[in-house]
Amino acid sequence: MKISLIQMNSISDRDANLKAATELIESAVALERPDWIALPEVFDFIGGVRADKFAAAEFLPDGPTYRTMQDLARRHGIFIHAGSLLEKIPGEERLYNTTVVFNRAGEEIARYRKIHMFDITAPDGTPYRESNSFKPGDTVVTYPCEDMIIGCSICYDIRFPDLYQALVARGATMIVVPAAFTMQTGKDHWEVLMRARAIETQAYVCAPAQTGPHTIGKETRTSYGHSLIVDPWGHVIAKASDGVGFVSARINPALVQKVRTQIPVASHKVAL
């Protein structure tokens, strides 16, 4: 199975972001002919103030972001793992940070809502309070794709290995981590965490990322980028440079089984 990860610099303009995502997907299809494509976290909208986020969000399955990704999957006959988008919740004052996945026919086959909220203080003192605007999900999600079982996670989830063990327990052989890692955390933790989760789960880990500056109110924040694909042994087999674009690789389901046979971690677990 050939896969492509889209790397974006989303802004506080949903229409512009959808245009950019569409152009990148169509370029990847033309140049790489992938079976499966993934986009980064909140590819539909980054920035603005709280009210702007809510104005850009949509109820699923309605809305332009959902329909655009659905149409692209159907038109090109590919799987699209639509990173994450802003999902409105009826009667709620917060949103979900939501992954939606479409098969080759444009049918929705998975929906995952980010479980772990990015409520931290960065090394430079900048506070991040994702839970002010977003409600956490509570469901572990996998879906079948060709010969793989793919597990869903989003960005900050990567720091919680129990989620990844739960995905493997549900059969995951590839795990996706659409992200918008900060520059400060990304430069020190991004690749280390992705490789660690791949080694622990003995699964492919695929992380499409946001890159570059985003305007949040009057403040500019920068995403780390460096979208990457890690194999079940922990090797980085594809990695994007800085800037907008995409990166591709071929995934071999047999390698997952080979690694799990060589080091049968699952059978060595003990209750503590």
Helix H or strand E segment including 193: helix 183-201
Task: Choose the catalytic residue: 58, 87, 130, 155.
Answer: 155
Residue with tokens 């981590």: 177
Beta strand 211-216 with 245-250: parallel, antiparallel or unpaired?
Answer: unpaired
Q: Please say if 187 is a catalytic residue.
A: no
Interatomic CA distance for residues 83 and 45, integer angstroms: 12
Selection from 5, 80, 85, 79 nearest residue 43 by Cα: 85
* 207 in Cβ contact with 179 (< 8 Å): yes
Burial class (CB in 10 A: 0-12, 13-18, 19+), 198: buried
Task: Choose the catalytic residue: 41, 58, 87, 130.
Answer: 41
Q: Please say if 155 is a catalytic residue.
A: yes
Task: Choose the catalytic residue: 114, 135, 145, 206.
Answer: 114
The residues annotated as belonging to the active site are 41, 114, 155
